[in-house]
A and B are shown apart, each in its own frame.
Chain A
Amino acid sequence: MNAIEVRDLHRVFRATIGTIRRRTKEVTAVDGISFDVREGELFGLLGPNGAGKTTTVKMLTTLLIPTGGSATIMGYDVVRDADSIRPRIGFIFGGERGLYWRLSAKDNLRYFADLYHVDPDMAKRRLPRLLELVGLNGREDEKVEGYSRGTRQRLHVSRCLLHDPQMLFLDEPTMGLDPVGARELRQVIRNLVAEEKTVFLTTHYMFEADALCERVAVINHGQIVALDTPEGLKRHVEDLSVIEVEVFGIAQQMVDSLRQIPEVDTVSVENRDQKQAVRVHSKLGSAIVPEIMHRLDGNGVRLGRVTVREPTLEDAYVRLVGGEA
């Protein structure tokens, strides 16, 4: 049996606009997605902001009712059997919210243990073990408001493990963490999979998905545009080369001008402090570099380093979401 089965899942939000002439606007957050997650698998859901990742997680964790389609968690329907699902799952939504900041870590964990109907004796035994798992032992009596972002995120992990759930939903758990904190948290996630828990992870970070996930689904505009292993996704771009040009202050029309080159597949721009990295995917490899340089240089943009390299999972992702990353 699959741990998660999703079939043609939809979610449409309606919002009212205007004060006097009120109009209703519909936004389709999730538009007919289908996928399965096997028991004990670490499954990744990747997508740009607003792609529908969090809405999907909220529907799977019984916090939001789908407007169409169906989803089951361990055989239980997310709408009809929400009460059966809730004790069996744990979840973390990215960011620092979700804890009582004026209380200590221990008070937070005790409260959530009661909410999840964990036997008090069991909770007493489990608490030190969980604090140790996330590296918080010795700090359990400190107020949460004094914790760093990474420490709070690790406390979130211990909170969602209190009732020993079979399945975990982690919505961008490393968002905003420093590299060391993020690496520690990824190790915690690996340990969970080693304990045969099923993990459903959403993330922005390709290397994280590459390093952790057995399979990855890419979601864009509410639809799944690819579902494969990280290696399989990389094959989507194995015929392409990536030309990366560092520039200082590029305008949108220059990016559009690069997109008009017939041999160019996709163009994306990443901000890096003062400068930007323009990433061009093309089958021509280094042969297209002169044309790119001509178009950029001709517009008076200051240019930095130029590199031509093999594609990564991130490049596959950028191609799949059409340069929106």
Chain B
Amino acid sequence: MIANLRVVRTTFELDVKQQAVGLFMIFGVLIQPLLIAIMAIYMLVARDPSRGIYIVVGSGMTGLWTSLLFRGTFNINAERFMGTLEGIVASPSSLAAVVIGKTLASVTLSLLSMIFSYGLASLIFRFPLNVAQPVPFLLSLLVMVFAFISFELLISPLMAVNLSRSGWANALEYPMYILGGFLFPILLLPGWSNPLSYLLAPYWAARVLHATSSGVATPGDILLSWGDDAHPGRRVHCGILQTFRDRATPRPCARYSELDVGRVLR
């Protein structure tokens, strides 16, 4: 147990060192959310400066989602390309400990998106950026981080067993910005798409963060969103992804895989 915790810590440190100088980090976590924030500021905030905090939270979430989605998809495959996966899999450590360490690193770095968006809006555009309910906001942020970590822990093994599935990451990026209500409320979308949003943990995370930052959240709303964010939404993810993983894993394990990743992950 202690040895595996040490692996989580060392993997976290190593991954932060590696990611911090990577091009993905610079574009996915910094430049892309900043571009989205600038566009949203010109589109939405110019008419109503009080919506600045909404944009900051939303564009930060886009960076967080992009980072988690792509890192979750590629963090095991990157090890495969570097030839280090064999060394990790054949070590006595749990692969889950390595993936947790990597996920924590991704989350930590991707939270920078939110900080940069905040800095951009407050220092350059000089919008009033007050978080109306700071304590619920920070707690909601924590719940969201755990929900996202659980999501990444599920997609990493799924993507690792079959490289062709990694293309899904591209298809999942922008729809989540829209269905998750990151930059505008889902009420602006057609009614038939709303149930899809309710199934997604990031929607509940975005909803509670927006509500607490703008001060319209009631305790009931917050608790409902936390529960939905961390529980049913996640459970739906878990159910779908677990099914895929269980189906996907034995086949590559028995038939295709050079590395017996499947057995290690199960």
Contacts and interface: CB of A to CB of B under 8 A. Distances in A.
B255 A111 contact: no
A114 B90 CA distance: 13
B18 A102 contact: yes
B83 A97 contact: yes
Interface residues of B, number: 30
Contacts of A117: 3, 92-93
Nearest to B83: A97
Given A87-B92, A116-B91, A99 B14 contact: no
A159 B253 CA distance: 27
Contacts of B14: 100, 103, 107, 111
Contacts of B218: none
Interface in A74-104: 83, 86-87, 89, 91, 93, 95, 97-103
A120 B1 CA distance: 15
Interface stretch (B28-36, B67-75, B103-111, B258-266): B258-266
Contacts of A221: none
Interface string A29-67: 000000000000000000000000000001001111100
A83 B92 contact: yes
Interface string A1-41: 00000000000011100000000000000000000000000
A115 interface: yes
Interface string A281-325: 000000000000000000000000000000000000000000000
B258 A115 contact: no
Interface string B11-49: 100100110010000000000000000000000000000
A116 B97 CA distance: 13
Contact of A110 (B3, B10, B89): B10
A112 interface: yes
Nearest to B259: A63
Given A63-B86, A100-B84, A115-B92, 20 more contacts: A63-B89, A64-B259, A65-B254, A86-B91, A91-B90, A93-B83, A93-B86, A95-B83, A98-B82, A98-B83, A98-B86, A99-B84, A100-B82, A110-B10, A111-B10, A114-B6, A115-B91, A115-B93, A115-B98, A116-B92
Q: Which 4 A-B pairs have the closest CB atoms?
A: A97-B83, A115-B91, A98-B83, A117-B3
Interface of A: 13-15, 58, 61-65, 83, 86-87, 89, 91, 93, 95, 97-103, 107, 110-112, 114-117, 120, 159
24 contacts: A13-B255, A14-B256, A15-B256, A63-B86, A63-B90, A63-B259, A64-B260, A65-B253, A87-B92, A91-B86, A93-B83, A98-B86, A98-B87, A99-B83, A99-B84, A100-B14, A100-B18, A102-B18, A103-B18, A111-B10, A112-B87, A115-B87, A115-B92, A117-B3
